[in-house]
Amino acid sequence: METGIKQRLVETCRKKLTDSGLNLQQAMDDLQQQANDYGAPKDRYDPFKTQLLRRRDMLAQQLAKELQELRILDKIDVGIASPDVRFGAIVITSEFNYFIAVGLGKVDTTDGTFYAISLQVPLYEALKGKKTGDKVAFRGKIIDIKQII
């Protein structure tokens, strides 16, 4: 596999985040419209309108997180292969293929299936700094690192 795979994987992750962000924005707009259509609160503790606005605010927090993850993807240098497991690396193992960037879970591309994981997950801590050919014990399994891109 060449480093072009990293560019395609980053673009696939970017599209996944962008699509999700657009869906979140639409849901926020719908909730805001419902709250506006409901009118002024019926009393000081109007639970319906408060619930709508809380759900909208929760979605706004999720949208902010996704925008932050898009900025994280921008920091990846897609033109170079990583010498070891670190941020931006693609790790091909005996079991799964991992993309060390943001926590998106399963990402299907034309190059195969990858699991996008963040720097905060225990699996990354176990893999961090390892090189091609290393073996890592994680939760009772041995992970054989076949290639790092």
pLDDT score, position 4 = 87
Going by C-beta distance under 8 Å and a sequence separation of 6 or more, which residues neighbour residue 70?
14, 17, 18, 21
Instruction: Name the pLDDT band for 34 (thresholds 50, 70, 90).
Output: very high
pLDDT digits (tens, 9 = 90+) for 116-133: 999 999 999 999 999 999
Domains in the chain: boundaries: 4-74, 90-148
pLDDT digits (tens, 9 = 90+) for 76-118: 999 888 899 999 999 999 889 999 999 999 999 999 999 999 9
Q: What is the pTM of this model?
A: 0.84
CA–centroid distance for 131 within its chain: 24
pLDDT of 42 strictly over 90: no
